[in-house]
Amino acid sequence: MSKPSLSQQVEELRRQLDETNATLRAIRTGEVDAVVVDGPDGDQVYVLKGAEQPYRIFVETMSEGAVTLLRDGTIAYSNSRFAQMLQMPLEQVIGASLFSLLAPDYQDRLQPLLDRALQERCAGIVPLLPRGGTVVWADLSMCPVNLEQERGICLVASDVTERKKTEELRAYLASIVDSTEDAIIGKDLDGTILSWNHGAERLYGYSAEETIGRSISILCPPERAGEALDILQKIGRGESVERYETERVCKDGRRIQVSLTVSPLRDLEGRVEGASAIARDVTELKRSEAELARQAAELARSNAELQQFAYVASHDLQEPLRAVASFTKLLAERYQERLDSDADEFIAFAVDGARRAQRLIHDLLAYSRIGTRGRPFAATDCETVLQNVLADLSAALEDTGGHVTHDPLPVVEADETQLGQLFQNLIGNALKFHGTEPPCVHVSADPIPGAWRFSVRDNGIGIPPQFADDIFEVFRRLHTSAEYPGTGVGLAIAKKIVERHGGRIWVEPSPGGGSTFCFTVRAAERE
Ligand code: ADP
């Protein structure tokens, strides 16, 4: 297109001047109504009231509140959206003071904002308090405007309550993320670190500035170089990743054991765009686990060793002891009353000592065999076991004049021989440690979930409560063998048998005197 000629340009300017003059004439004569407002470059311009119409439609239909304020904060004009934000009829909004529509604790802060808005464009977020009573946060954009009588403020208000809530929630979540001891790291699917909380800073020693934008592989030891990226690929494919434990390298080169939980980060459409990893330092935990396992193995080894020692010692001592016992017995038979009375006494001590040592060795051997020589468990009828035990104890029953009663007894999952030994030791003790009355013993069994709780109750001398645990230890006795014969191994054997069966044993005082020994045994499956 050719440039307009000079005469054409002069003609156009003249036409525009004529038009402007005609307009000014019309304003002056009152034919056309107009107001003066600030133009875009700060000049004052006339806006024709007739031409205001499209702007009014625009203002009335916009999604923000539009308001004209007088300098003291009185609302000279409001669109209906602003009235809606305040949940008030428009007539009540116009003429009201903006101060009266703010949350009370915020009113002091409005005046400085208005003072500024009378001078220049400015913005601020204020809490409006609608009649409904729930605060509406409004983002105000304000600029000065020359009204007919005075300078005022043109204000556009957007409801940002939701945004504010989201921001508050985000700040709240961010403070949780930042205050946790765990490291929380966000990264995209390529492994580029996007976020790095204080926990991560504490755990790995790098600051957020040092890591954001770098690859997550900086934390992987060389032999696990691809691990983090492999996990991200899995996450990207939509596969879930179980919590796992691995090794990571800190900024100072230290290697730590971490437990990692990796979860996908999704965009608004639900597409996986990255992952967040929560890492916890488990170095100490792993160390103590390993230490615990080492100690448990050590304990098992020394237990086995001890058991083996007890077995070998008691087994191998049997032979020489048998010789000592039989020769002292021979000595007693042949030389009784043929030497002097001292010699008779010494021989009697030697015979008795040898017999006691034999009994001790015998019991110790029995004790050491519980764990190693046990038979597999099978359904065992306790009534039958008890009958056999009572037959074996018939001499003791006769000697003491005692009697044993029992409730119906169940079938349990047990090693029959050991169960017999258990009953024998408990009932044998009940008969042995009787008081002045002939011993009365009662055996009962009560069901508990998955097991039976047995009780062997006697009316004997009782056990002081402070010894209730001690008596289950090997060789622990509360009396001399002159008072009551025994080796102090019977209850240790009973405890070992119960524990081998997965139960526990304890003693309680019997109501009315005496002791009640209780133990648990698993119920037989086919009951
Ligand atoms: P022993 O019977 O050979 O002494 P045990 O291991 O069977 O060894 O018992 C340990 C100690 O517990 C006994 O010496 C005795 O003091 C006490 N005791 C065991 N059973 C009873 C009981 N029924 N009444 C009173 N005391 C008992």
Domain boundary among 281, 316, 334: 281
**Atom number, ligand 1, closest to the C-alpha of residue 461:** 25
Residue 1 falls inside a structural domain: no
Q: Which of 424, 436, 487, 491 to mutate to test the pocket of ligand 1 (most atoms within 8 A of CB)?
A: 491
Say yes or no: 453 and 504 in one domain.
Answer: yes
| SS3 at position 483 | coil
Say yes or no: 408 and 516 in one domain.
Answer: yes
CATH at residue 241: 3.30.450.20
Q: Write out the two tokens for 281.
A: 């330092």
State the Cα–Cα distance between residues 97 and 190, nearest whole angstrom.
56
Say yes or no: 386 and 297 in one domain.
Answer: no
Q: pLDDT tens, position by position, for the chain (527 residues)?
A: 566 777 777 777 777 666 666 655 555 555 555 555 555 555 555 555 555 556 667 777 788 999 999 989 999 889 889 999 999 998 899 899 999 999 888 888 899 999 999 999 999 999 998 876 889 999 999 999 888 778 899 999 999 999 999 988 888 888 888 888 899 999 999 999 999 999 999 999 999 999 999 999 999 999 998 888 899 999 999 888 888 899 999 999 999 999 999 999 998 888 999 999 999 999 999 999 999 999 999 998 888 887 778 788 778 888 888 898 899 889 888 988 888 888 888 988 888 888 888 888 888 888 888 877 788 899 999 999 999 999 999 999 999 999 999 999 999 999 999 999 999 999 999 999 998 989 999 999 999 998 999 999 999 999 999 999 999 998 899 988 888 988 899 999 999 999 999 999 999 999 889 999 999 998 877 54
What CA–CA distances, in Å, run from 467 to 463, 471, 472, 507?
7, 6, 9, 10
Ligand 1 contacts (CB < 6 A) are 425, 429-430, 433, 458, 460-461, 463, 471, 476-479, 486-492, 515
Domain boundary among 368, 397, 420: 368
CATH at residue 483: 3.30.565.10
**Closest C-alpha among 287, 248, 284, 244 to residue 262:** 244
Q: Whose CA is nearest to atom 13 of ligand 1?
A: 477
Domain boundary among 257, 281, 305: 281
Residue given tokens 């119906």 in the structure block? 408
User: Residue 99 in contact with residue 107, Cβ under 8 Å?
Assistant: yes
Classify burial at 430, counting beta carbons within 10 Å of its beta carbon; exposed 0-12, middle 13-18, buried 19 or more.
buried
Q: Whose CA is nearest to atom 11 of ligand 1?
A: 477
Residue 96 falls inside a structural domain: yes
Q: Whose CA is nearest to atom 7 of ligand 1?
A: 490
Residue 173 falls inside a structural domain: no
Give 429 Cα–ligand 1 centroid separation in angstroms: 6
CA dihedral sign, ordered 410, 411, 415, 417: positive
**Closest C-alpha among 140, 136, 120 to residue 66:** 140
State the Cα–Cα distance between residues 83 and 409, nearest whole angstrom.
86
Q: Write out the two tokens for 496.
A: 């070992």
Say yes or no: 131 and 20 in one domain.
Answer: yes
Say yes or no: 489 and 388 in one domain.
Answer: yes
Work out the angle at residue 503's Cα, subtended by the Cα atoms of residues 500 and 508, and round it to the nearest 5 degrees: 125
Residue 424 falls inside a structural domain: yes
Say yes or no: 22 and 125 in one domain.
Answer: yes
Q: Which of 423, 477, 479, 516 to mutate to test the pocket of ligand 1 (most atoms within 8 A of CB)?
A: 477
- Residue 200's domain comprises 180-281
Give 172 Cα–ligand 1 centroid separation in angstroms: 66
Say yes or no: 195 and 319 in one domain.
Answer: no
Tally of structural domains, the chain: 4
pTM summary value: 0.53
**Atom number, ligand 1, closest to the C-alpha of residue 472:** 6
Residue 260 falls inside a structural domain: yes
Question: Measured in whole angstroms, how far is the alpha carbon of residue 389 from the centre of its chain?
Answer: 51
State the Cα–Cα distance between residues 460 and 22, nearest whole angstrom.
131
Q: Which of 360, 429, 476 to mutate to test the pocket of ligand 1 (most atoms within 8 A of CB)?
A: 429
Say yes or no: 388 and 482 in one domain.
Answer: yes
Give 368 Cα–ligand 1 centroid separation in angstroms: 19
Say yes or no: 360 and 400 in one domain.
Answer: no
What CA–CA distances, in Å, run from 419 to 84, 107, 377, 441?
86, 86, 10, 18
Q: Write out the H or E segment, with its range, that includes residue 345.
A: helix 341-369
| SS3 at position 138 | strand
Residue 169 falls inside a structural domain: no
Residue 316 falls inside a structural domain: yes
Please state, as a whole number, how many other Cβ atoms lie within 10 Å of the Cβ of residue 370: 20
Say yes or no: 106 and 139 in one domain.
Answer: yes
Give 471 Cα–ligand 1 centroid separation in angstroms: 7
User: Residue 457 in contact with residue 440, Cβ under 8 Å?
Assistant: no
Say yes or no: 15 and 151 in one domain.
Answer: yes
Q: Which of 437, 471, 472, 497 to mutate to test the pocket of ligand 1 (most atoms within 8 A of CB)?
A: 471
| SS3 at position 118 | coil
Q: How many residues does the structure list for the chain?
A: 527
Say yes or no: 63 and 138 in one domain.
Answer: yes
